[in-house]
Structure 1
Amino acid sequence: MFTRLSYELRVMGKRVIWLPIALAAGFIAFAFLLRFLGVHLERFISSGFELFLPIVTGIVVATSATQDPALEIQLTMPRKYHNTSILRLALIVAWSIAFGLLISIIPTLLHLTFLPDQLKRTNSFGQFFGLQFSWIATTFWFVAVALVSSLLTRSRSASSAILGAVWIVQILFMTHLVETTSWLQPLFLFPTIVAPQISYWMTNRLEVLSTGIVLLPVGWWLLHNTEGLLKGASEE
């Protein structure tokens, strides 16, 4: 099993491992600079988990999980390609979440966490796990959308562009859209950083996670489309 996992990591490339590490290193370096300038770090550090780790994980999935340099051979093997692709997706998600959980211990120990209003009324245990649930829910959403969009567009660049567009719209316009259109609340991806005062924070996190879970079977079904996979490989 270890040999198989190592092989899949080699096929996907080292960026699967190094992108989250590079993101964390960049945030730590920038945090030291902000600390030197006397800026409060709580919101900045929390944005790394909720704003940046999910989009980075989604882009890795969009560019790695459904691509294979020997796809034609993979599709003729006894082990179905959709099982291989889901294994790769699971590796990407597991590494990003495990690394994120490990790094999240640092701001907790240094008391540099930024809490939404709903979590401020809970104990320390609830605050820690609530914050982790926040970015994990958003990560699952981006992973599911990345998988589905990469299979529908058959293009790594197009699916990455879709994720980037969603990310920008969420940061710049989503707060106003949610205030005027209540049915968009389940699609509000970054409430901890953008609107920590909302009264439906926990409900939103559960809805975002549920949306991601619902989209995963769609991606699983699209992975069975052998013709679409081959077209995507030829177009790339």
Structure 2
Amino acid sequence: MGRRIIWIPITLVAGFIAFAFLLHFLGVNLERFISSGFEMFLPIVTGFVVATSATQDPALEIQLTMPRKYHNTSLLRLVVIVLWSIAIGLIAAIIPTVTHLTFVPDQLKNSNAAVKFLGLQFSWIATTLWFVSVALVASLLTRNRSASSAILGAIWIVEVLFMAHLVETTSWLQPLFLFPTIVAPQITFWTVNRLEVLLIGLILLPVGWLLLHNTEGLLKGTSEE
């Protein structure tokens, strides 16, 4: 996986913290910006890492001949990426919590401090798992890093620009609303939405695991890259 897996989440979080302090001195509202780093940017960056590494392995042909199945190795790699990103996010989340710079959705405003903290962490973790699962499936179906990354980018743009309006007029899209805390904190289905997003991510993971069994497709994808 290399140093990229280790340093990308750390660099993202460190950059956001530094920029947040700059905004503070400029008099800009920080709470929403900081929260967007967790819910909107860390998940998509983690998804990009998965999309660009799921099927790309210089030693893929050798690994496919070894007793340990490649799909198990790839799944372990995925778990490491996710856990590392979550660990960095949880550590970084302490800073806005201690400095009282958290942006809380309406459904959590009357909760105690512990529930608010856990709810906010659950929110971006659910979105992260969603992006990771979609990235895994997209990369295995397209067998192309650029294509799978483009899919993730398109989803992110649609979510940021249009989803808040779409969920108001089309209720069946509510389970696909990925950034409710930042884009529409006033919604009344925030908790249900977070559970639905997490569930979709968990459902897609086995799909990705099954696609990893397609060794012919993995080799073809590597050769095409």
Q: Structure 1 length normalisation: TM-score? A: 0.94
Quote the Cα distance in structure 2 between the aligned partners of 1:95 and 1:33.
27
Aligned counterpart for 2:105 among listed residues 116, 133, 147: 116
Q: Distance in 2 between matches of 1:230 and 1:155?
A: 12
Alignment of structure 1 residues 51-200 onto 2, 5 Å: 51-200=40-189
Shift of 1:65: 3.0
Give the corresponding residue for 1:14: 3
Distance 2:182 2:2 in 1: 32
RMSD of Structure 2 on Structure 1 (CA): 0.6
Runs of 4 or more, structure 1, over 3 Å off, are none
- The partner residue of 1:46 within 22, 30, 35 is 35
What does residue 227 of structure 1 align with? 216
Counterpart residue identity of residue 116, structure 1: P
Equivalent residues, number = 225
Aligned-pair identity (%): 80
Aligned-pair CA distance for 1:15: 1.0
Gaps of 5+ in 1: 1-11
Deviations along 1:82-125, one digit per CA (max 9) or x if unpaired, are: 00000000000000001100110010000000000000021111
**Distance in 2 between the 1:66 and 1:81 partners?**
10
Q: Quick one: distance in 2 between partners of 1:53 and 1:27?
A: 10
Identify which range, 205-214 or 31-40, moves more after superposition.
31-40
Cα deviation 1:194-233 (Å, max 9, x = unaligned) = 0000000000000000000000010010000011101101
Residues in 2 aligned to 1:18 and 1:187: alpha-carbon distance in whole angstroms: 29
Mark the runs of 5 or more structure 2 residues left unpaired by the alignment.
none
Helix, strand or coil for the counterpart of 2:68? coil
Provide the secondary structure at the position in 1 that maps to 2:162.
helix
Distance (Å, rounded) in 2 between the aligned partners of 1:187 and 1:40: 28
Which residue number in structure 2 is paired with residue 9 of structure 1? Answer: none
Range with greater deviation from structure 2 (32-41 or 192-201): 32-41
Aligned partner letter, 1:176: H
Partner letter of residue 109 of structure 1?
V
2:170 counterpart letter in structure 1 = T
* Equivalent residue in structure 2 for 1:32, among 4, 8, 21: 21
